[in-house]
Amino acid sequence: MNCRKVRRLLPLMPGDELPESKQAAITSHLEKCPGCRQEYAIYMASNQAVKTWLDKDRIEWNDFEWQRVVRTACRESAPEKRKPGFWPLKKSWSYASLVGVVVVLCLIIFWPQFTRKPPGAAPGAATGTKTQLLESKTLQPSQEIVAVELVSRKTGVKIHWFLNKNFNMEEIE
Amino acid sequence: MKREEELIEEALQGNHIAFEQLLHPYRNGVLNMVYRMTGNPEDAKEICQDALIKIYRYLRSFKKGRSFKNWVYKTVVNTARDFLKKQKKFDLLMEQQKNAADCETVNPEKHYLDAEIRENIQNCLQWLTPTERAVFCLRDGEGLSIKETASVLGCSSMGIRVHLSRARNKLRLQLGKIYPFKKNEVKK
């Protein structure tokens, strides 16, 4: 420990606020350094002087005064009664219940979106109109079709399907 | 001597004697701590009165298992801080104290010595910030431990050490002005 560190910690030496290891290190430094030792003595003296003054300048309640103060305190206030809360449970249980209710509500609202089935065939292509696949091919089951364009011979209506699942294609004559 | 929990239960049922017994061990400690913070004995008693009213009113909210002593000191310190905020003028208190001291005529010599001591303490303490003063009064004035002081003031133990170190440093400097320490006179 150098003098700078020791002098920074000296104010805490009089009251034993430092851990034992630091106290030991400071004590060993003080044995070697007369300047720090002098400074430590001044801190001890000043702390003792202030404590002596504080002990001399103490005030006390006399018994009559104290009784009067206590009677006044009891008369002017009543112990606060526990107010009936909105929630009959303890505070921590109230928060836990609230979180549980919020989670259940979120599940009710958002669960159908996760379990929704993919959309079926478009109505125009399925109802009575004969359609023919343009450039239809016999595909392997492992292949994935991204998009299909259907054109009605009768009406010329074009239907674009964007798909993400495999399906078997048949030619319609 | 009944335990604190039993006295609290009785006080909550309206037993004023139990409330008085509950606070009896701390009555002079809190009074002197507030006296150090304000510098005026009459203000200190008024603040203690207000603090007692709050303690009695909110006694039900005191959680069992915690330190009642720390809770009492905390309430008193917060009441003192609110009072000082309203007052704002520490110099004004010094002046009032001086005028009050001038009115005493019991024992002139004792009165002079007491006034000198009081003035020296207040001269030194006025150089501390409110937090430093509170830490010093609790730790060195009333002998509370670092943990207790931290609990009362709502700081960490490290923060208390920092404030205490600064307070003692400032007091050492102020004392050096009142009673200059001569290097050769200071004994080991």
Which residue in chain A has the smallest CA separation from B125?
A: A50
Residue B52 pLDDT level (bands cut at 50, 70, 90) = very high
A11-15, A63-67, B160-164: range with lowest mean pLDDT: A11-15
How many angstroms separate the CA atoms of A167 and B17, rounded?
90
User: Closest Cα to residue A17, out of B74, B170, B162?
Assistant: B162
Q: Give A75-92 as a DSSP string.
A: HH--PPPPPPPSSSS-HH
Helices (H), B13-107: 16-23, 27-38, 41-57, 68-87, 90-103
**Average pLDDT score over residue span A137-156:** 69
Q: Which residues contact A48 (CB under 8 A, 6 or more apart)?
A: A14
**Average pLDDT score over residue span B63-88:** 87
3-state secondary structure (DSSP) of residue A151: strand
**Average pLDDT score over residue span A87-104:** 79
How many angstroms separate the CA atoms of B90 and B19, rounded?
33
In chain A, what is the straight-line distance between the N-terminal and C-terminal CA atoms, in Å? 99
Instruction: Look up the ipTM and state it.
Output: 0.71
How many angstroms separate the CA atoms of B125 and B39, rounded?
9
So what's the pLDDT on residue A90? 63
pLDDT of A166 above 80: no
pLDDT of A80 above 80: no
How many angstroms separate the CA atoms of B8 and B26, rounded?
15
How many angstroms separate the CA atoms of A27 and A9, rounded?
11
A48-52, A81-85, B71-75, B122-126: range with lowest mean pLDDT: A81-85
So what's the pLDDT on residue B184? 45
In chain B, what is the straight-line distance between the N-terminal and C-terminal CA atoms, in Å? 45
Tokens, residue A36: 């720090």
Residues of B in contact with A61 (CB under 8 A): 27-28, 31, 45
Pick B27's closest partner by Cβ from A11, A66, A78: A66
Residue scoring higher pLDDT (B6 or A148) = B6
3-state secondary structure (DSSP) of residue B86: helix
Question: Inter-chain contact B52–A73, Cβ cutoff 8 Å?
Answer: yes
Which residue do the tokens 């979120």 mark? Answer: A106
pLDDT of A69 above 60: yes
| A2–chain B nearest CA distance, Å | 18
Q: Which residues contact A78 (CB under 8 A, 6 or more apart)?
A: B56, B57
**Average pLDDT score over residue span B153-166:** 92
Q: How much of chain A is helix, strand and coil, in % rounded to 5?
A: 50, 10, 40
Q: Is residue B124 a contact partner of residue B173, using CB atoms and an 8 Å limit?
A: no
Which residue in chain A has the smallest CA separation from B39?
A: A57
Q: Which residues of B88-104 are buried (b: 16+ CB within 10 A; e: fewer)?
A: eebeebbeebeeeeeee
Residue scoring higher pLDDT (A119 or A18) = A18
So what's the pLDDT on residue B83? 87
Dihedral through CA B157, CA B163, CA B166, CA B167, nearest 10? -120
Residues of A in contact with B41 (CB under 8 A): 59
A2-6, B113-117, B157-161: range with lowest mean pLDDT: B113-117
So what's the pLDDT on residue A81? 58
Residue B71 pLDDT level (bands cut at 50, 70, 90) = very high
A8-12, A141-145, B154-158: range with lowest mean pLDDT: A141-145
Residue B136 CB neighbours (<10 A): 25
A104-128 pLDDT, tens per residue? 999 888 888 777 655 554 444 444 4
pLDDT of B124 above 90: no
How many angstroms separate the CA atoms of B144 and B135, rounded?
9
Helix (H) or strand (E) holding B13: none
So what's the pLDDT on residue A93? 77
A23-37, A69-83, B3-17, B158-172: range with lowest mean pLDDT: A69-83
Which residue in chain B has the smallest CA separation from A48?
A: B140
| A76–chain B nearest CA distance, Å | 7
Tokens, residue B111: 């009165």
3-state secondary structure (DSSP) of residue B4: helix
pLDDT of A48 above 80: yes
φ, ψ (nearest 5 deg) of residue A158: -100, 135
Pick A79's closest partner by Cβ from B36, B59, B118: B59
